[in-house]
Amino acid sequence: MKIPRTEYPRPQFERKNWLCLNGEWEFAFDDANIGEKEQWQTAKFPQTITVPFAFQSKLSGIEAPGFHDVVWYRRTFDIPPAWAGQKVILHFGAVDYEAKVWVNGQLAAVHEGGHTSFEADISSCLIPNGENVLVVRAEDYSRDVTLPRGKQYWLEHSASIFYTRTTGIWQSVWLEPVNEIHLSKAELTPDVDRNEIRIVSFVDGFRENEEIRLEAEVYFEGKLITNFVQTVRQASETRAVGLNDFAEHGHGRLWSPEHPNLYDIQFRLLQGETVLDEVSSYFGMRKVSVEGGKFCLNNRPYYQRLVLDQGYYPEGILTAPSDEALKGDVEWAKALGFNGVRKHQKTEDPRFLYWCDKLGLLMWSEAANAYDYSGEYVTRFTKEWQEIMQRDYNHPCIVTWVPLNESWGVPNVQNNSKQQHHGLAMYHLTKSLDDTRPVVFNDGWEQMTTDLVTIHDYESREEVLKERYASVESALEAMPSNKRIFVGGAQYEGQPILVSEFGGISFKKSEWEGWGYSGAENTEDFLKRLKAVLNPMFTSPVIQGFCYTQLTDVEQEINGLLTYDRLPKAPVEQIRSIIKGE
């Protein structure tokens, strides 16, 4: 059997030596929740599943869409002899929702949060020269509407805007060896105005009085641009590195969708002449800002043509069948005329972000929200959002953070002070972790403090849209979803205005039955309707960008520009011309 997803799962922080644990695992449902009591961490399981595909999916080999909120996984592995004497780190890309991990019967990790990565040092649990047993217990809360879940439905069958659930492991699992002293993270912040990259390095296992050095080399298209050597005096060090090649006419090395220029950076951690760690990364020199009421990329006003992308796949659900499929979605978005994507209600696989960086596609990073509010939701969501930001901070493609969407998780934010404070807290927490990107308070409506004003509007009549977005006043007063744009006493303060959801034209071009916000009868009608909703965006004197719904059909939704299996519903060049306003 071909083992899926064998590419390195974390391209922003890559080591050469690693071991992929994707593939066949033993598997069991634990509907009675007796596994821990009966110590299943030492048992074998009767079924087989293909990791990293959730049991609900066809690619898992199980395809059981019903409720099974507790599941167990088991597999064995051997440690390569070359790893002797090193720490071994076990990585999980994502496990929905709670995970407990045992290695050789010893509890090695506990993690909560269905959309973020985690790791564990399993060195003390290992049998160096024998077979090791890895067991995972995953627990979901499928019916809990206060759980950060995104589009996963809490009823048995998908319907309306909600889709099939994902339970358990749904992103890659892997091992890698590291020295006792190693680089745990590097935070890379470009400063276009100073021609610098700011590097914050984090060394795990650092002890005072150790003679440790950090070396770094920066390359552009294989050519060495600069390098430095820094004595490590504490666990976290900050250094600004000038890029002397960067200040050139035409800004030829800036990152943008049109020119996705990337610098490579190689880190080495040394003690004397001994290399303790080597890590490869990359960065893009780009600046995102709001200046004079304009959204700017690299100090120039930039019109965003985004497409809503749910990130679902017919046979894998939340998990793409291959790295090529992730790359393909980025290529489709660009081919259809978009310069960005709003990844909707999903924290995407880092490989998708890599392809956005590499091929040139802006991205709005949006959390998977809960549907209702509770104190436990606040605790869960706040922790998970911080993990999302820390994981993805370095990606140049991310130009906007979106912690909340359409008042999901805060359904009474219009008049509930707790929910208003939560939204404000998420805005300020996001800015406290990253002050280099705009933050949307609550995408679509009912906003307070926000860097961008965003409106969701599924009106299909061209003349209505043109009138609605003829001025700032008419745009903010329209209430297309019968929701106020601002709540809690907040008022418009000159922010850029974008229509961040619109369109949603349904057009059946496959065997899938479904719905959309307005319907087309044939290809000609589809293109006519598409032009009718796009033209007002380009002719409006106030709209600075849009996000069209949506890239692909998804389950019962047939409002994609592509079918669910990624086939265009009309000639690509005609769609592209409309999307680009040509």
Could you write out the DSSP letters of every residue in 211-237? -EEEEEEEEETTEEEEEEEEE--SSEE
- Tens of pLDDT along 65-120? 899 999 999 999 999 999 999 999 999 999 999 999 999 999 999 999 999 999 99
Q: Is 303 helix (H, G, I), strand (E, B) or coil?
A: coil
Q: Are residues 561 and 336 in contact, defined by beta-carbon separation less than 8 angstroms? A: yes
Structure-block tokens of residue 187: 């935070």
Per-residue pLDDT averaged across 546-559, rounded? 95
Residue identified by tokens 């300020």 is 428
Q: Residue 212 — very low, low, confident or very high, per pLDDT cuts 50/70/90?
A: very high
Cis peptide before 550 (omega within 30 of 0): yes
Q: Are residues 101 and 133 in contact, defined by beta-carbon separation less than 8 angstroms? A: no
Residue 552 main-chain phi, psi, to 5 deg: -130, 155
Quick one: pLDDT at residue 252?
76
DSSP H or E run through 67: none
In angstroms, rounded to a whole number, what is the distance separating the alpha carbons of residues 254 and 581? 25
Residue 37: pLDDT over 60: yes
Show the DSSP H helices in 258-343 as ranges.
323-335
Show the DSSP H helices in 42-104 as ranges.
none
Quick one: pLDDT at residue 251?
59
- Tens of pLDDT along 263-289? 999 999 999 999 999 999 999 999 999
DSSP H or E run through 547: strand 543-549
Residue identified by tokens 């996001």 is 430
- Tens of pLDDT along 163-185? 999 999 999 999 999 999 999 99
Q: Are residues 286 and 447 in contact, defined by beta-carbon separation less than 8 angstroms? A: no
Q: Are residues 13 and 91 in contact, defined by beta-carbon separation less than 8 angstroms? A: no
- Tell me the β-bridge partners of 118: 92
Quick one: pLDDT at residue 362?
98
Q: Are residues 298 and 539 in contact, defined by beta-carbon separation less than 8 angstroms? A: no
Residue identified by tokens 């071991």 is 19
Q: Is 433 helix (H, G, I), strand (E, B) or coil?
A: helix
Domains of the chain from N-terminus onward: 19-178 (2.60.120.260), 182-283 (2.60.40.10), 303-579 (3.20.20.80)
Cis peptide before 480 (omega within 30 of 0): no
Structure-block tokens of residue 408: 């999901």
Quick one: pLDDT at residue 21?
97
Quick one: pLDDT at residue 1?
36
Nearest to residue 559, comparing CAs of 526, 524, 533?
526
Nearest to residue 570, comparing CAs of 530, 514, 518, 511?
530
Residue 143 main-chain phi, psi, to 5 deg: -100, 0
Nearest to residue 391, comparing CAs of 418, 440, 354, 425?
354
Q: Is 466 helix (H, G, I), strand (E, B) or coil?
A: helix
Nearest to residue 334, comparing CAs of 577, 576, 548?
576
In angstroms, rounded to a whole number, what is the distance separating the alpha carbons of residues 427 and 508? 39
- Tens of pLDDT along 501-519? 999 999 988 776 777 777 8
Quick one: pLDDT at residue 246?
61
Nearest to residue 147, comparing CAs of 109, 115, 169, 170?
115
Q: What is the mean pLDDT of the chain?
A: 94
Residue 365 main-chain phi, psi, to 5 deg: -90, 115
Q: Are residues 364 and 340 in contact, defined by beta-carbon separation less than 8 angstroms? A: yes
What residue type is assigned to position 102 of the chain? W
Radius of gyration of the chain (CA): 24
- Tell me the β-bridge partners of 562: 552, 568
- Tens of pLDDT along 344-369? 999 999 999 999 999 999 999 999 99
- Tens of pLDDT along 406-416? 999 999 999 99
Quick one: pLDDT at residue 247?
54
- Tens of pLDDT along 220-277? 999 999 999 999 999 999 999 999 766 554 457 999 999 999 999 999 999 999 999 9
Task: Spell out a b/e string for 372-393, using b for 16 or more CB atoms within 10 Å of the CB, else e.
Answer: ebeeebbebbeebbbbbbebbb
DSSP H or E run through 304: strand 304-309
How many other CB atoms are found less than 10 A from the CB of residue 122?
Answer: 22
The DSSP call for residue 439 is B
Structure-block tokens of residue 56: 């609900």
In angstroms, rounded to a whole number, what is the distance separating the alpha carbons of residues 197 and 215? 15
Cis peptide before 141 (omega within 30 of 0): no
Structure-block tokens of residue 323: 């790295």
Contacts of 270 (CB under 8 A, 6+ apart): 212, 213, 214, 215, 276
Structure-block tokens of residue 249: 């006419």
Structure-block tokens of residue 436: 């280099």
In angstroms, rounded to a whole number, what is the distance separating the alpha carbons of residues 393 and 432? 13
Nearest to residue 169, comparing CAs of 27, 343, 351?
27
Q: Residue 208 — very low, low, confident or very high, per pLDDT cuts 50/70/90?
A: confident
What residue type is assigned to position 361 of the chain? L
Beta strand segments in 52-178, E: 70-77, 87-92, 95-96, 98-103, 106-112, 118-121, 132-139, 168-169, 173-178
How many other CB atoms are found less than 10 A from the CB of residue 364?
Answer: 28
Quick one: pLDDT at residue 309?
97
Residue 298: pLDDT over 70: yes
